[in-house]
Structure 1
Amino acid sequence: MKIEPFKIHVPQSEVDSLRVRLANTRWAPELDNEDWSGGVNGTYLRELMTYWQDGFDWRVQEARINSFPQFRTEIDGVPIHFIHVRGKGPNPVPILLNHGWLWTFWDFREIIMALADPAAHGGDPKDAFDVVVPSLPGFAFSGPLRRTDVGYVETADLWVKLMRELGYERFVTHGGDAGAFVSARLGHAHPESIIGVHLSFPILPGVAHDAGDPADFTPEERTLVEGQDRGPGAFVHVLINAFDPQTLAWAMHDSPVGLAAWILLRRRAWSDCHGDVETKFDKDTLLTHLSLYWFTESFVGSQLFCRASAFPQPMALVNDIKPEINVPTAVAVLPKDLMYKSRSIVAAHSDLRQWTLFPSGGHFGAAEEPKLMTEDIRSFVGPLREHW
């Protein structure tokens, strides 16, 4: 396996082409959608697209990303891009962070250095991590895919190989959304390689994804479930990704406004933003993610990953080990996430060591609440350090 340093440089011709496409947008008519009830509001979308065209500076964001050490390699025919920051402390623990669908590796930008260099971020050097942040196969610079069978199962296997190549026989893993499937799979299928599993989305092998029996919930947990406001289309993407990914990809690959609308809707609906997406993600942040999808032409790759994953109900088992995640496990519960499980269910199917109900935050966990997530990961791994 050959690992090579990597820097992003999008040709200026592609930056210029994007601006031309944005300028030539044919806008759809819109009726009675001021409240976003029919999808993305046109007034805000036009405002954001105007800024993408005339105000957003990709080169500034590109330089920010390139300030992190990045690498590319290929494992089993799958191109892999990742950030790798070595920790500053007496005994850094390796941790691999898994992003989700319609996320990018850049969603972890605020916690990477806080984990790697805690002393520079108000922490203790003894809590340092070696931080590895790969792009999931098909996403951003982990592409283009040449296979259609790479989902979360295969990705977990790839990550074990990647981490061993980097010199880590064992490591901690964190994940949200699709990344939680990868992290949970690692804990279930590769316990010998995993120090601990930290999840911001409660996915468990062999357990249905829905909330479960209300009798299992404490009053506090029941309040979370009853307060969910997913909206009628919260999971429509799952069916599209599984059964019709290529049809949608034709449109998104050709239209930056279409791509923006698809991703923006979910950023707003799934985050704890109270209807104002910019309280969690400012314009530059939103457009950096959109630009990563656009310039890498990776929307189709993200769809193929989801199709290969199919996110079975429940996640399949590959062994009869009990509990199913038989390594130390932590769950960070975000009050505005899309799905919950009771603590009792999680404890029955994992070696649950830590359960934290955050005061705020939604589906994009670490991107929305980086300080809380950093603290939660540190507190979970602290007692495990002497054993790794």
Structure 2
Amino acid sequence: MTQSIEPFRCDVPQSMLDDLKARLQRTRLPDQLTDAGWDYGTERGFLDRLCAYWRDEFDWRSAEARFNRFAQYTTQIDGENVHFYHVRSPEPDAVPLIITHGFPGSVAEFLDIIGPLSDPAAHGGDRRDAFHVVAPSIPGYGFSGPTRTKGFGLMRAAAVNSRIMEILGYDRYFAQGGDFGSAISSRMAMLHPDRMIGLHLNFILGQPADPDKPLAGLTEKETAALQWKRHYDERESGYQSIQSTKPQTLAYGLTDSPAGLAAWIIEKFRTWTDCDGDVEALLGMDRMLENIMLYWVTGTINSAMRLYYESIGPDRAATPEWQKIEVPTGHARFPAEIRPTPRLWAEQMYNIVYWNELAKGGHFAALEQPALLVDDVRKFCRALR
């Protein structure tokens, strides 16, 4: 039976935008201690400015035009609605590439890299580096949400991605991802290693070869990075505990209040990027709000957070034991990444054939440093085409 695929365009009703503006006008902010800065969470003054800009200056219709520049589609897979970009390259020798976002990101992260990846010649690159680009919204995120069934974790998301590529007629392809996109792309490689030419990750997991001597074989620089990671876990991982145990309770406030939703997401943009404390200068209000709006207009912050519950929470569905991924794997190591896994550790879980340490950038590589990410994907894939 032929799979039904429907063209999609982003077109939010004006009534929803009017409701959003009214809610922003009625925003009630909490108190903040003097000189607290960002120590306790999103800083009140910054959020106040963001909400004022969102209410009075942000142009959603221009953002919609950016979303609609590339061909989008929806289909039904595993009982869920699935939204994805599919941008075929004009180059006859282009190779398929599926790129997957994470939390609290969205396909909005990829709007500045789809063009250079699919049509490099039009963006000052080499036409031999062209890809047919597929960029799904993870089920539960944006126009792929909300999810409708319990137990929709990372392995099911990987199966959805694999099915998208089947539907599109791609039997051999590259996969790229960061954050949850890294986990999903990795599980695609576990499910169908024969289909994947190579796996490129800008966020990578790993484990020491000897758990009793975890620092054995590491450089001084790698050891220092792990100390930083310990500090991160102590001070910055509370969101994960909440989302993996009681996402529904949190979702009421974030679904009802645009200021609450923005505060929850903006904190991660600031903490996880290479912005030296000034996330506005790095990303700009418009790019941050494009991403936040995808959660708001679709009402999917709950189902997006629920992926944590289903994947790492107490009632997560049983998943196969991790098997070392033998698909050739490359890692773009951005210096402000929240999980700076040493190469020695990564090699316990992946067939690492490429490892590149970048000079700048953080967790949201496609948003922060789109040109650097595109260049790194091209370098990795070039040797495997």
| Fold shared by both chains (TM-score > 0.5) | yes
Counterpart of 1:365 in structure 2 is 365
Q: Which amino acid is the alignment partner of residue 381 of structure 2?
A: V
Counterpart of 1:101 in structure 2 is 103
Question: Which of 157, 160, 182 is the equivalent residue of 1:158?
Answer: 160
Residue 226 (structure 1) shift: 4.2
Q: Which amino acid is the alignment partner of residue 240 of structure 2?
A: V
Distance 1:289 1:29 in 2: 26
Residue 41 (structure 1) shift: 1.0
Offset from partner CA, 1:304-363 (integer Å, 9 cap, x none): 222111179xx9974786xx1111100111111111222122223322110011111111
Q: 1:319 to 1:240 in 2, by over 3 A?
A: closer
Residue 221 (structure 1) shift: 2.6
Counterpart of 1:225 in structure 2 is 226
Counterpart of 1:30 in structure 2 is 32
Residue 76 (structure 1) shift: 1.5
Distance 1:107 1:227 in 2: 26
Q: Which amino acid is the alignment partner of residue 355 of structure 1?
A: W
Q: Which amino acid is the alignment partner of residue 312 of structure 2?
A: A
Residue 214 (structure 1) shift: 2.1
Question: Which of 244, 248, 251 is the equivalent residue of 2:250?
Answer: 248
Offset from partner CA, 1:162-192 (integer Å, 9 cap, x none): 1011010121111111111101111223201
Residue 34 (structure 1) shift: 4.3
- Contact 2:84–2:136 (8 Å) recurs in 1: yes
Corresponding residue SS for 2:286 = helix
Distance 2:383 2:92 in 1: 16
Counterpart of 2:124 in structure 1 is 122
Residue 2 (structure 1) shift: 0.7
**Aligned runs of 1:190-229 on 2, under 5 Å?**
190-204=192-206, 213-227=214-228
The number of aligned residues is 378
- Contact 1:189–1:318 (8 Å) recurs in 2: no
Corresponding residue SS for 2:374 = helix
Q: Which amino acid is the alignment partner of residue 91 of structure 2?
A: G
**Aligned runs of 1:110-189 on 2, under 5 Å?**
110-189=112-191
Distance 1:232 1:274 in 2: 20
Q: 1:4 to 1:217 in 2, by over 3 A?
A: same
What's the C-alpha RMSD, in Å, of the aligned pairs?
2.1
Judge which range, 78-87 or 345-354, deviates more: 345-354
Unaligned runs of 5+ in 2: none
Q: 1:196 to 1:207 in 2, by over 3 A?
A: farther
Give yes or no for the alignment of 1:340 onto 2:304. Answer: no
Q: 1:12 to 1:270 in 2, by over 3 A?
A: same
Judge which range, 249-258 or 32-41, deviates more: 32-41
Distance 1:187 1:311 in 2: 23
**Aligned runs of 1:32-47 on 2, under 5 Å?**
32-47=34-49
Q: 1:177 to 1:33 in 2, by over 3 A?
A: farther
Question: Which of 287, 297, 306 is the equivalent residue of 1:285?
Answer: 287
Counterpart of 2:325 in structure 1 is 325
Offset from partner CA, 1:14-68 (integer Å, 9 cap, x none): 0010000000112211112442111111111111100100111100101111111
Q: Which amino acid is the alignment partner of residue 327 of structure 1?
A: V
Distance 1:207 1:188 in 2: 21
Residue 216 (structure 1) shift: 2.9
Residue 222 (structure 1) shift: 3.1
Distance 1:234 1:61 in 2: 30
Offset from partner CA, 1:234-261 (integer Å, 9 cap, x none): 1112211111010000111100000010
Unaligned runs of 5+ in 1: none
Q: Which amino acid is the alignment partner of residue 378 of structure 2?
A: R
Q: 1:76 to 1:261 in 2, by over 3 A?
A: same
TM-score by length of 2: 0.93
Counterpart of 2:296 in structure 1 is 294
Distance 2:228 2:236 in 1: 15
Judge which range, 231-240 or 272-281, deviates more: 231-240
Corresponding residue SS for 2:75 = strand
Judge which range, 84-93 or 3-12, deviates more: 84-93
- Contact 1:160–1:193 (8 Å) recurs in 2: no
Distance 1:180 1:171 in 2: 16
Distance 1:8 1:187 in 2: 31
**Aligned runs of 1:368-383 on 2, under 5 Å?**
368-383=368-383
Residue 279 (structure 1) shift: 2.6
Distance 1:311 1:268 in 2: 25
Q: Which amino acid is the alignment partner of residue 19 of structure 1?
A: K
Q: 1:92 to 1:305 in 2, by over 3 A?
A: same
Distance 1:116 1:33 in 2: 47
Offset from partner CA, 1:118-164 (integer Å, 9 cap, x none): 11122111110000000001000001221121111101111111101
Distance 1:56 1:41 in 2: 20
Distance 1:28 1:117 in 2: 47
